[in-house]
Amino acid sequence: MSTYDAAADADFLNHTLDELTKHVFYSDIGSEYAPELGDKELKKAAWASSVLAGSPDDEHQKKALATAVLLYITQDEGQRQLYRKFLYTVLSRLGSLPSAQSLTDGTAKEDVDSIQDFEGTLLDAELDAAEEYHRLDDGTVLTRFQQQIWNNLDKKYVVFSGPTSSGKSFLMRRYIEHRVTNDDTFQAIYLVPSRALISEVSADFREEIGDQIDVRTNAHLDDAGESFLLVLTPERCLQLFDYEQSDKVDIDLIFLDEIQQLEDGGRGPLFENVLENLESVWQNAQIIAAGPFIDNPSSSLEEIVHGDASDIKTIFNPVFQLQARFTFRKYSDVIDVEVKSASGSILNLEVDRPTGLSYSTIKTNKKQTIRKFIETFGREDQSLVYAKSQAAAENMAEGIAESRSNQSSPETEGLLEYLRRSIHKEYALVDTIQRGVAFHHASVPQIARDEIENLYRNEELDTIACTSTLLQGVNLPAEKMYIIDPGMGRNKTLSDFELQNLIGRVGRVGSKLYGTIYYIDREDDEWSEGKLDKTVEKEVTSATSSALLEKQDELREKIATANTNEIDDAGLRYTTILLRNRYIKDRESVKPYLRQKGVQEREAEEIVSKLDSGLPKLGIPEKILKKNPTVDPVLQNRLYENVLSSTSPWEVETNNLRETFFQVTRRLNIIFNFVADPEEGIESTPAEETRAYNFNHLSYTAYHWLSERNYSEMIELRKQALEQDNINSVIKELMRIINTDVRYVLVKYYKILCDILGEIDDYENYFMLNFDKRLERGSYDSGRLQLMDLGIDRSIALDLDVPESDDEDELRSSLREQMSQHSPVYRRHLLRNGVIPKEENTKE
């Protein structure tokens, strides 16, 4: 047994950790507990922790961190300074330098004492050397994990995996800043899984390096300079292939965030296709990917790229987390509690059941349960409440808020004004925010989400009820998280991997020393049983590989002749479409691709043979298929032939917008069947992508969106049309239709139409050539679109005067002058996105 193993298994250490864990747990819920520990035992535990801090083993490091944190936070004022210095030492030895620096107030590092009675000068020298090793040229101090990644960033292919709070995104921002500063020219793509993350990531980059490089959220580069950073979803990235022959575009770096998205049946094949094509066009580009708790980081990337990838992974979380499972029993006045000790043991405890909480309450009224839990066990903490759906998140937030008095502050007034005027005065978010609570999900307008996140970070809001949008990388550091239902959407349940990723949001490097997760359970439905013991690393298998290996018989049957709209399984459907596209582009590449994916020789040959015999000859240019890889090429070809025969039936006219928009949309639906249309005999299909009830429902919403109707107008129109009284349901459903049906599904098919028109010689209807972009943005006015190109959200751009100037400096100057007429929310939004300079708004 090694010294490290002996220290980790020492009874005195584990007993101390159990006692300190109990102390923290009871303190967290407002009770008292006196640990059965003397000063000698504490110092012995500290000694063992200092030994474990030097171990290369992640589990040893986690125990060292937990010991140091627990010793520090459980001591009285007389001993706290000593253990604060000790915590600083352990954090430094663990390579968690940012957390160590956050402890420094001018004394911790200047007068570090060791409990082991080392010479202070020697320890000072050790810590100084460690900090210097992890310090970048610009003064940024990295963690050990970040430093390991940094040391590998000279490789062409790099992929790294670590817990949510390990600082992966922070490191990539520093690396991109380093390249921008040191390279003569630099062009990069930062791929994110959602539009919400486009807003967050681009705002961070604009704030940090917006004065050094052009940060864009679209792939329109006609007016771009030599250096730029594109923050894109895979869908927006497709437009970049318009520039594959351009001398001015030579991509240096491609970064794929959340690499586990490759597994998603709906969008995973698109991520894979985009990354593969980006590499084939810009072969010299460095490709970096990242994700949480990935067991096979290098192989997940090597499945797509043409080379060996360097991988760096850790399961060490630089933030200590306390996890507790509360189980309500029938007819019991106590709650059974299991607490995960830092020793690795499960502690079985009991707490008195608060008045108003019972087995029947948790079974029938989750929002009352959460409200009572927060009031009893966490009223003073920054808390997140996980909700399985948007409706559940709103219900939870309203339940938490209903017993609170109005406590709105000047800092929240700007958002409240925006919500009342731009959304609806009866929007539930207005009432909850006034009481310190918010809900956060994909159907909350982006401006409101940005403001909620900032108010929460600044502790103007103390509780947010949120959905699994947090799994997509949204950064909302919390002190406590409550989970009462592990559902995700209508029919799914959080996997152990997703749950682990979710709770990683609790506590963050450099801001919180520890975070607490409460699982709330009941007898007969103990969903969280065994969760405290699990640490999961995920082996990422792309959706295409899963379809090819697990559904091969069905794939061979459908590959050439099936109507892809009739294929139920999203992964199988999109894999079929991608293989058809690949075959048309380069028949000879299909078999090697299948073999690389693990398909046997004979089966691969059979798939190619079926494509040879069953797939019809298509006349559509390969270039169009390449830019639209997730739509069946057979159907794209049908549209292509229709448009070539006559373009006029496929043109939307500004002087007859509604009628022509409806006509063209209906013609597209006749081909692609994306929404039910009884008038044309089109019924719902397994592949139907929209939430709208029918064609008219979708088309009217899209028309109002395109016609620059603001949210409040569209909400009122929808309320009247559907005769609905529940304004929150109206808002939620409208936002879903806009974000998914209009801005994603309908735009996808209009993009194919625009790409086809763009391939017709001498076609000069500029309005139609860019119609997909107009529809996605929600405006057909070029001046308004110019504001959105600067990074201004549509809801704000609609309220601004469009300056009559093509000069960007004059445009920004005019916008700056307009800010005095508008809500502080507008000013903050323009500042956050780098539209107006910070130095002229110092009070912000």
d(CA 537, CA 495): 12
- Residue 372 CA to residue 376 CA, distance in Å, equals 6
Nearest one of 667, 669, 665, 670 to 706, comparing CA atoms: 665
Look at phi and psi of residue 506 and say left if phi exceeds 0, alpha if psi is from -120 to 50, else beta: beta
Amino acid at 256: L
Would you give the end-to-end CA distance of the chain in angstroms? 57
For residues 731 and 664, what is the distance between their CA atoms, to the nearest angstrom? 27
Task: State the Rg of the chain over Cα.
Answer: 28
Q: What are phi and psi of 700, to 5 degrees?
A: -65, -40
Contact 297, 658 (CB under 8 A): no
Q: Which residues of the chain have pLDDT under 50?
A: 105-119, 121-122, 840-844
472-488 core/surface letters (b: 16 or more CB in 10 A; e: else): bbbbbbbbbbbbbbbbb
Q: How many other CB atoms sit within 10 Å of the CB of residue 306?
A: 12
| pLDDT for res 832 | 86
Q: Report pLDDT for 232.
A: 95
For residue 113, the model assigns a pLDDT of 42
pLDDT reported for residue 581 = 92
Determine if residue 344 is left, alpha or beta; phi over 0 gives left, psi from -120 to 50 gives alpha, anything else beta. left
Q: Alpha-carbon distance 479 to 477, whole Å?
A: 7
For residue 159, which phi and psi values (nearest 5 degrees)?
-140, 135
For residue 791, the SS3 value is coil
Q: Which residue has the tokens 């792939």?
A: 219
Token pair for 176: 């991109």
Those residues with Cβ within 8 angstroms of residue 798's Cβ, 6 or more apart along the chain or in another chain: 708, 710, 779, 784
Q: Could you tell me the maximum CA-CA distance found in the chain, to the nearest angstrom?
A: 89
pLDDT value at position 485?
93
